[in-house]
Copies of this chain bind each other. A is one copy, B any other.
Amino acid sequence: MPKPTEFVREQVSSVRDTVASAAASAAAEASTVSDTVTSHVGDFIRNQRSSAHVSLRELARSAGVSNPYLSQVERGLRKPSAEILSAIARGLKISAETLYEQAGILDRRSGTAGTVAAIRADEALSERHKAVLLELYETYAREQARDVAAPADVGAGPPALPELSTPAESTPAPGTPSTKELA
């Protein structure tokens, strides 16, 4: 009969092997997807360029990339970095996110703006406030992801924070319901 520490090590090794095998399988699939995506974003760029009646050299100049490389990208022979895609998007006068989606860098989400992006774009907050909110958000998202996998005790919850209901000056502006009213 194996000793407890040996048993734990065997279990850990077994789990790691399983994880490694799954990762290898996922990587193989990702490689195929990557080739398809590469030629797809190239077709998209060439179509956008044709629609704008711009030559390859003109787009390359305005994007700040070399024209042979742009040709290779359009023909699906090269996989451009996000930096190059961003430059090409500027040259085409379209949003970088559009090319990122074609390139598989961004998923095609249905409408909802990311919380992170919204916080970062919010001009009602200072940089310090933003940093704190983002850190807290990531912590909560991580906790939630963990709790979904292994539900915790009902009593567990987020860290306690200072009470807010005090001076009248903290009353929200008209037309801006507080979170308590919405709850």
Contacts and interface: CB of A to CB of B under 8 A. Distances in A.
A159 B157 contact: no
Interface in A77-128: 81-83, 86, 92-98, 100-101, 103, 105-122, 124-126, 128
A113 B109 CA distance: 11
A177 to B, nearest CB: 10
A178 B93 contact: no
B135 A133 contact: no
A61 to B, nearest CB: 7
A142 B131 CA distance: 17
B97 A141 contact: no
A118 B108 contact: no
Contacts of A96: 106-107
Count of this chain's copies in the oligomeric assembly: 2
Contact of A109 (B86, B121, B133, B172): B121
A158 B113 contact: no
A160 to B, nearest CB: 9
Contacts of A144: 124-126, 129
A136 interface: yes
A64 B135 contact: no
Nearest to A52: B142
Contacts of A105: 82-83, 86, 100, 105
Contacts of A97: 106, 110, 114, 116-117
A111 B101 contact: no
A126 B156 CA distance: 12
27 contacts: A48-B138, A51-B138, A82-B100, A86-B105, A93-B145, A94-B142, A96-B106, A97-B110, A97-B116, A100-B105, A100-B106, A108-B117, A109-B120, A110-B114, A110-B121, A111-B121, A112-B118, A114-B122, A115-B124, A118-B119, A119-B137, A124-B141, A131-B179, A132-B136, A133-B136, A135-B179, A136-B161
